[in-house]
Amino acid sequence: MSAPVLYLDGVSVVFDGFRALNSLSLVVEPGELRAVIGPNGAGKTTMMDVITGKTRPTAGDVRFRDHDLTRLDEAAIATLGIGRKFQKPTVFDALTVFENLELALKAPRGPIACLRWALSGEARRRIEAVLDETGLQARAKDRAAILSHGQRQWLEIGMLLMQDPELLLVDEPVAGMTDQETEHTAALLRRIAGGRSVVVVEHDLEFVRSLGRRVTVLHEGSVLSEGSIDHVQNDPRVVEVYLGR
């Protein structure tokens, strides 16, 4: 097996004496789709903050391929190839789905370059590919303002894909979605993983089950259990702190 994409070892984050992360360790392989679950305040969002450089760990190693993420700022980490989807979708309402993706596409970003930009065949193919991947092909010409809640989330995931990340962090993607949209999102994430690694934080256990991959359970800032969904659901410690409530 090749070297891991993401490697966290002994990571701790202390806020005013409160341990949000407590010697957390996590390894994500290339192409892996990993679900992270845990009760409120378990440290899931803090873990993402540490990976993206938003929060500095008090102790521990955070590595992305052979880069030490604890030394880089948010912009540098983003350019390395780590994309993050926040919970609140922010797409550009006044622009069409296609145009939203076009803005996210890797290309020179100065004012003159944007003024002279002409959509090449290659760029169009990349956008079409992401439209297919996210299932938004039929809505390409519609303004983002008229998309459904689920479609807006997919568009935002699509905008992350345009930047061709190697690792995608997705925080609670299915909150507020209909069952049908949740199913579609699970399929989308399964499709995306493979080419890249994906870490999904989610409360919805049915959703995590439908991902059908390795699950990590966080509790009080460290890993409580890890394995298949059936394995963790039957783990007595997990039952006690999370599922049993």
Partner 1 sequence: MSVALASPAPPRAAVARNAFRWALIGAVLLLALLPILNRLPADSALHVSDFLVSVTGKWITYAVLALAIDLAWGYAGILSLGHGAFFALGGYAIGMHLMRLIGPRGVYGHPVLPDFMVFLGYRELPWYWLGFDHFPFALLMALAVPGLLAAVVGFLAFRSRITGVYFSIITQAMTYALMLAFFRNDMGFGGNNGFTDFKELLGTPLNTPNARAMLFYASLAALLGAYWICARVVGSKLGRVLVAVRDAESRVRFLGYDTTRIKLFVFVLSAVLAGLAGALYVPQVGIINPGEFSPGNSIEAVVWVAVGGRGTLVGALLGAFSVNALKTWLTSVAPDLWLFALGGLFVLVTLFLPRGLVGLLRRREP
Ligand X SMILES: Nc1ncnc2c1ncn2[C@@H]1O[C@H](COP(=O)(O)OP(=O)(O)OP(=O)(O)O)[C@@H](O)[C@H]1O
For ligand X, the binding residues (CB under 6 A) are 15, 18, 20, 38, 40-46
203 near partner 1, rule: CB under 8 A: no
* DSSP class of 74: H
CB 48 within 8 A of CB 99: no
| Binding-site partner at residue 46 among partner 1, ligand X, Mg ion, none, CB < 5 to 8 Å by type | ligand X
Residue 19 or 191: the one with the smaller Cβ distance to ligand X is 19
Among 29, 128, 133, 142, binds partner 1 (CB under 8 A): 142
The DSSP H or E segment spanning 51 is helix 44-51
Integer CA distances (angstroms), 9 to 70, 170, 221, in order: 12, 21, 13
- Residue 86: CB minimum distance to partner 1, A: 9
Q: At what angle do helices 121-134 and 97-104 cross, to 10 degrees?
A: 120
Give the separation between CA 226 and CA 159, rounded to whole angstroms.
30
Phi, psi of 21 (to 5 degrees): -125, 140
Among 139, 184, 214, 219, binds partner 1 (CB under 8 A): 139
Residue 12 or 210: the one with the smaller Cβ distance to ligand X is 12
Residue 42 or 167: the one with the smaller Cβ distance to ligand X is 42
Residue 71 or 88: the one with the smaller Cβ distance to Mg ion is 88
Strands 197-201 and 33-37: parallel
- Residue 94: CB minimum distance to ligand X, A: 31
Strand extents, DSSP E, the chain = 6-15, 18-28, 33-37, 59-64, 67-68, 82-85, 167-171, 197-201, 215-219, 222-227
Among 80, 95, 129, 175, binds partner 1 (CB under 8 A): 95
138 near partner 1, rule: CB under 8 A: yes
- Residue 49: CB minimum distance to ligand X, A: 7
Give the separation between CA 42 and CA 84, rounded to whole angstroms.
19
- Residue 42: CB minimum distance to ligand X, A: 4
55 near Mg ion, rule: CB under 5 A: no
Residue 123 or 175: the one with the smaller Cβ distance to ligand X is 175
